[in-house]
Amino acid sequence: MADGVATGLRYPWTTPPKGDDAIEVAPGVLWMRLPLPMKLDHVNVYALDDGDSWTVIDTGFSSNTTKRIWSVLMNGPMAGKPVARVIVTHHHPDHVGLAGWFQAEFDAELITTRTAWLFSRMLSLDVQATPTPETLAFWRSAGMDADTFEKRTAERPFNFGDVVEAMPLGFTRIQQGDTIEMGGRTWDIHIGNGHSPEHATFWSRDDNLVISGDQILPSISPNIGVYATEPMADPIGEWLEACERLKELARDDQLVLGGHKLPFTGLPTRMRQLIDNHHGALARLLDFIDTPKSATECFAPLFKRSIGEGEYGLALVEAVAHLSHLYQDGKATRTRRDDGAWVYQRKG
């Protein structure tokens, strides 16, 4: 969800690295950027110097282009030293896409949370030629319009394995409360939720660095969605809990290295913005559902902008998440409409 310009934040670098360049954002910490074939057209990745090798944070999609860029980076800014470890912050394909390639080609150790590994491996093995009956039922329940439903029913759906390299068996687990040594620093591991389950973030004990993945981003709020895989999940509740917990760690001087956009300082301000953004969205929705509304009928008050075809799927799952949170929080009722859609209405 976009939330406008995050005022009060400061951006030490206004221009990101391009192509096969890298920016040293702190001693022994390289910031690099890989392309994505979508509206959010990049993912940030990081390499931390461990002396005789590197630890890489996140990997980008699996594609020939991304592999070529990585090869140039490893022989250029990374000075030909091997990648010994790959840390995946969460299971989304722009972050885990080449983890298996690093394992298979470079014998790198994969380090991530148990949930991230299980989701990544499961989804990479689950190839679908057409949408599943469960997905079709979920779309109907969200109120997907007839034209979009008919078009998507006939299309091959996005498959995780299209952009995620095959993942060999085996990984090293990290969890809440662990520490890890990388880049000459000791990092505390704190787990977020909401955008993805068991999302790892890293907080340096030795200086002001925070590696946040997609849990904490400037200028945009990560997509928080409900899917057919777990239709009664409450990622909004999990997101707000994680933000409230992580905000207690925030200092104004911390340099936050996120998965998208630019590194920034001003983390206490950003945590307040992220929390307020979703509370505001929930309040707008509650006002809007004075009469029964389906998820797709709530795009305007939720996003405050026009939703195009390319954004439709992410908007749908996020609208479901917010409405379901209100329902599960006891603030709205939910009934089936004749067309199969769940419609939500404010209580009282």
Question: 169-189: per-residue pLDDT in tens?
Answer: 999 999 999 999 999 999 999
Residue 155 Cα to chain centre, angstroms: 25
Q: Does the pLDDT of residue 259 top 50, yes or no?
A: yes
Q: Which pLDDT does position 348 carry in this prediction?
A: 78
Report the candidate in 324, 277, 327, 269 with the shortest Cα–Cα distance to residue 302: 277
Mean pLDDT (whole number) for 65-69: 97
The amino acid occupying position 40 is L
102: which 2 tokens?
A: 């690093």
172: which 2 tokens?
A: 């090293």
Q: Does the pLDDT of residue 53 top 60, yes or no?
A: yes
Query: Domain for residue 217, yes or no?
Result: yes
Query: What is the Cα–Cα distance from 272 to 264, expressed in whole angstroms?
Result: 15
Question: 265-312: per-residue pLDDT in tens?
Answer: 999 999 999 999 999 999 999 999 999 999 999 999 999 999 998 899
Query: Domain for residue 337, yes or no?
Result: no
Q: Does the pLDDT of residue 58 top 50, yes or no?
A: yes
* Reported pTM: 0.95
CATH number at 36 reads 3.60.15.10
Query: Domain for residue 314, yes or no?
Result: no
Query: Domain for residue 313, yes or no?
Result: no
Range of the domain at 114: 23-287
Q: Which pLDDT does position 339 carry in this prediction?
A: 95
CB 50 within 8 A of CB 183: yes
pLDDT band at 7 (very low <50, low <70, confident <90, very high): low
* Distance set, CA 141 to CA 72, 228, 290, 320, 348 (Å): 47, 10, 19, 9, 24
Q: Does the pLDDT of residue 1 top 60, yes or no?
A: no
Query: Domain for residue 328, yes or no?
Result: no
Question: 226-252: per-residue pLDDT in tens?
Answer: 999 999 999 999 999 999 999 999 999
* Distance set, CA 112 to CA 73, 120, 124, 201 (Å): 23, 10, 16, 10
Query: Domain for residue 332, yes or no?
Result: no
pLDDT band at 19 (very low <50, low <70, confident <90, very high): confident
**Among 1-5, 137-141, 238-242, which is the least confidently predicted range?**
1-5
Q: Which pLDDT does position 106 carry in this prediction?
A: 97
pLDDT band at 119 (very low <50, low <70, confident <90, very high): very high
Q: Does the pLDDT of residue 313 top 80, yes or no?
A: yes
Q: Does the pLDDT of residue 4 top 60, yes or no?
A: no
Q: Does the pLDDT of residue 3 top 90, yes or no?
A: no
Query: Domain for residue 10, yes or no?
Result: no
Give the chain's mean pLDDT.
Answer: 96
Pick 2 or 117 by higher pLDDT: 117
Q: Supply angle C-alpha 61, 43, 183, rounded to 5.
A: 100
Mean pLDDT (whole number) for 138-148: 96
Q: Which pLDDT does position 2 carry in this prediction?
A: 46
Query: Domain for residue 308, yes or no?
Result: no
Q: Which pLDDT does position 8 carry in this prediction?
A: 85
- State the total domains in the chain: 1
CB 103 within 8 A of CB 86: yes
